[in-house]
Amino acid sequence: MNMQSNIKFLVNNKIYTSFLTCTVNRAMDALAGSFSLEVMGNGEESHIKVNDTCELKVDNKTLITGYVDDINVNLSATSHTIRISGRDKTADLIDCSAIHNPSQWQNVSFAHLASELLKPFDIKATITEQLEPFEKFKIEQGETVFEALERMCRLRKVFCTSTVLGDVLIEKKSSSFATVALKEGVNILNASASFTGKDMFSHYELKGQGAQKEACKNISKDAKIPRYRPLLIIAEDTLTDATANSRLLFEKDIRRARSSTVNISVQGFKEYENGKIWEPNRLVFVESPTLGMATELLIVAVEYSFSSAGSICNLTLQHKEAL
């Protein structure tokens, strides 16, 4: 079944274009994009092996550059299907331990530290922001490269994700908008919203050490939580009043933003015909009387889904303060 001629899967210099289903996931807070393909087994796919390098393209736009992780073969009296799944090259940073000599640095820039962690994997980092250097940074025993990177990013209020070429991108929340709005009755196929208060707290307390090695404690309150719900955070870095207050505000804002999530499905994977592909880290205006909202939201994740039913984009959105 040649479901979508504009979808191309390249492995070992061979292009595959016939799929039963194809799903690609990319998210702001995920270091590696992922994909899953289902094909009708006809013998050609036997050349594809686990750990093969691969590239997945839609309309000649690359969405994944990485490796095949899993191959699952299903055989019955009436069918023979093969499911192939994998992730961006950055998946190795998620799976592998951070082993480096030296394992700690002083007065080191974010760019240099990231480069040192990624060098053994032949992966590069693009950093879009001017970030303060670290007075001290140490790899924790047993942590993965991603865990070290994520800790660095949390300290500097940025996030790390992968590029479509399988490298690392360090950036802040975007202020750019999608070229269309999402409107109920116009281009929204399905929509749902969920709200939770489980991860929100009335008091955020940060403890750590100051530059002079003295013990420091800072507290921030969230007036939106009326009952007593404290959360203690142990600082990952040396504290000053400025950095402590910034860290607490960042924690509070993220938890507020993530307390509500909106899921919207649209037809096709482009914002409009011949337009840009829907992407994470873009703002979009959402208008839905049923959900009771007319507001700007941030696209935090996109799932591109292709099947005999057509091409669907499933967008996950949160308040602009997310991440």
CATH architecture of 93-171: 3-Layer(bab) Sandwich (3.55)
Q: Domain ranges in the chain?
A: 7-88, 93-171, 182-196+259-318, 203-257
CA distance 127 to 124: 10
- Percentage of residues in the chain with pLDDT exceeding 90? 62
Tokens (6 digits) for 268 = 């096709």
Tokens (6 digits) for 302 = 């996109």
CATH architecture of 182-196+259-318: Roll (2.30)
pLDDT digits (tens, 9 = 90+) for 275-292: 889 999 999 999 999 999
Strands 293-307 and 21-27: antiparallel
Q: Looking up tokens 């308040």, which residue turns up?
A: 319
Q: How confident is the prediction for the chain on average, in pLDDT? A: 89
- Distances from the Cα of 78 to the Cα of 19, 95, 179, 311, angstroms: 18, 37, 46, 27
- Distances from the Cα of 38 to the Cα of 81, 157, 175, 291, angstroms: 7, 38, 36, 34
Is 90 in contact with 166 (CB distance < 8 Å)? yes
pLDDT digits (tens, 9 = 90+) for 72-86: 998 888 888 899 999
pLDDT digits (tens, 9 = 90+) for 210-255: 666 566 778 889 988 999 999 998 887 777 777 788 888 888 888 8
CATH topology assigned to domain 203-257: Phage tail proteins - 2 layer sandwich fold (3.30.1920)
Q: Which CATH superfamily is domain 7-88 in?
A: Baseplate protein-like domain - beta roll fold (2.30.300.10)
Please determine whether the domains at 7-88 and 182-196+259-318 fall in the same fold group of CATH.
Answer: yes
Residue 218 half-sphere exposure toward CB, CA atoms < 13 A: 20
Range 146-164 average pLDDT = 92
CA distance 299 to 320: 9
Residue-level pLDDT at 43: 67
Using 50, 70 and 90 to split pLDDT, how confident is the model at 1?
A: very low
Sheet of 159-162, strand order: 125-127, 168-171, 159-162
